[in-house]
């Protein structure tokens, strides 16, 4: 299974873009990159996923490097409600949650 | 939009008792997953079912069993409860095929064993 590495914590000012990095240097060619988040004690929430191309939805954008060894989740205008633990996952069935990044959005 | 329903939301049991947690997936989702999240820990996969058959198994204790019924709801049965079983238990559902990695989680059942 591909392993992921994420910074344990990050701060972001409210209204600014939050850029959350993830390293997955051992990802295989057919593995997708998935991002989930968990707001305190709530069920994890699916955000976005991608294979090679950059992806965007109503929640976030996902930028995957050309060699697929890393990716960045971008929350374009972070709000206080985006404070959560963000998980980058490259094995999806079942989901294998690592330590994630605890994002704190500060007013 | 309909979400994953879990019941009960809170459950208090004593050691050595049994507990049954229920999960109702999103309509037309045919795969159900169970995860356990201990205090201060990340969610850990327990077991999953696709079309009523067990599809994958994680770190589920032998004291636990689960099944998926004809209406696709699932139940997690836990026997001989131990203090260490106190945790949040999440159920997630997904549809098969290309979108299978998108799992939608319920609000969880908080189990406290005393």
pLDDT tens digits along B27-46:
989 899 999 999 999 999 99
Q: Say if CB B54 and CB B5 are below 8 A apart.
A: no
- Provide the pLDDT for residue A2: 62
A1, pLDDT greater than 80: no
Average pLDDT over residues A77-84: 97
**B106 and A CB contact within 8 Å:** yes
Query: What is the reported pLDDT for B100?
Result: 58
Q: What is the pLDDT of residues B43-88, one digit of tens each?
A: 999 999 988 899 889 989 999 999 999 999 999 999 999 999 999 9
In angstroms, the separation between the Cα of residue A65 and the nearest Cα of chain B is 21
Closest residue on chain A to B99 (Cα) = A49
- Average predicted confidence (pLDDT) for chain B: 93
Q: What's the CA gap between A18 and B99, in Å, rounded? A: 26
Give the H or E element holding residue B110.
Answer: strand B109-113
Least confident of A20-24, A83-87, A94-98: A94-98
Whether residues A46 and B103 touch (CB distance < 8 A) is answered with yes
The per-residue pLDDT for B98 is 43
Determine the pLDDT at residue B96.
65
The minimal CB distance from B42 to the residues A34, A92, A98 is found for A98
Q: How much is the average pLDDT of B17-34?
A: 95
Looking at the predicted structure, is the pLDDT value of residue B99 above 60? no
> Which chain A residues are within 8 Å of B41, Cβ to Cβ?
none
Mean of all residue pLDDT scores within chain A: 93
Say whether A95 and B48 touch across the interface (CB within 8 A). no
Q: Which of B43, B56, B108 sits opposite A93 (nearest CB)?
A: B56
| Minimal C-alpha gap between B16 and chain A (Å) | 26
More confident residue, B77 or B99: B77
**Own/partner pairs, B82-85, CB within 8 angstroms, 24+ separation:** B82/B15, B82/B113, B83/B15, B83/B113, B83/B114, B84/B38, B84/B113, B85/B111, B85/B113
Across the range A40-60, mean pLDDT stands at 94
Q: What is the pLDDT of residue B21?
A: 98
- What percent of chain A lies above the pLDDT cut of 90? 79
- Residue A95: which of B103, B106, B108 has the nearest Cβ? B103
């Amino acid at each position: 299974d591909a392993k992921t590495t994420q910074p344990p914590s990050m701060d972001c000012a409210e209204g600014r873009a939050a850029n959350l990095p993830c390293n997955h240097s051992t990802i295989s060619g057919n593995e997708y990159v998935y991002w989930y988040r968990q707001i305190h004690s709530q069920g994890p929430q699916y955000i976005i996923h991608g294979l090679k191309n950059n992806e965007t939805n109503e929640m976030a954008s996902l930028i995957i490097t050309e060699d697929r060894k890393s990716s960045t989740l971008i929350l374009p205008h972070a709000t206080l409600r985006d404070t959560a633990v963000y998980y980058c996952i490259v094995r999806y069935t079942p989901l294998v949650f690592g330590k994630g990044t605890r994002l704190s959005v500060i007013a | 939009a309909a979400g994953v329903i879990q019941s009960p939301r809170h459950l208090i049991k004593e050691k050595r008792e049994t507990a049954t947690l229920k999960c109702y997936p999103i309509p037309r989702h045919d795969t159900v997953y169970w995860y356990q999240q201990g205090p201060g820990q990340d969610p850990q996969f327990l077991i999953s079912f696709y079309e009523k058959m067990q599809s994958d198994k994680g770190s589920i204790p032998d004291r636990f069993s689960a099944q998926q019924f004809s209406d696709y709801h699932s139940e997690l049965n836990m026997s001989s409860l131990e203090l260490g079983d106190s945790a949040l238990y999440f159920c997630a559902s997904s549809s098969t095929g290309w979108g299978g990695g998108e799992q939608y989680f319920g609000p969880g059942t908080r189990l406290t064993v005393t």
